[in-house]
Amino acid sequence: MRKGKVFFQMILVLVAICLNLSGLLADDNAKININTASAEELVQLKGIGPKKAATIVNFRETNGPFRLPADLIKVPGIGPKTYEANKNRIRVNPK
């Protein structure tokens, strides 16, 4: 009985790990539309915390939508390094 319980617990742990890893991999490959993303979504980008995410949303609301992903550099506090770290994860069109 004990061996069966331990085996079952190990299976549950392995399933949980697999589900967690698949979620992490999906998030890494998902592109974020910087014209429609909420501040909560923008914090998934590297180097973007809640404060910078709110600045991006505010900039977008004040200045209109971004035309190019590289326009993210126009946001105060977002520099070329942050853009380079995220350029493959951001988009501006509805694809």
Residue 42's domain is classified under what CATH number? Answer: 1.10.150.320
| pTM exceeding the 0.75 threshold for the entire prediction | no
Name the residue range of residue 5's domain.
Answer: 1-30
Tens-digit pLDDT profile for residues 42-85: 999 999 999 999 999 999 999 999 999 999 999 999 999 999 99
| 56 and 20 share one domain | no
What's the per-residue H, E or C state across the chain? CHHHHHHHHHHHHHHHHHHHHHHHHHHHHCCEECCCCCHHHHCCCCCCCHHHHHHHHHHHHHHCCCCCHHHHHHCCCCCHHHHHHHCCCEECCCC
The string of pLDDT tens digits covering residues 5-28 is 766 566 666 666 655 544 444 455
Same domain assignment for residues 61 and 47: yes
Count how many domains the chain has.
Answer: 2
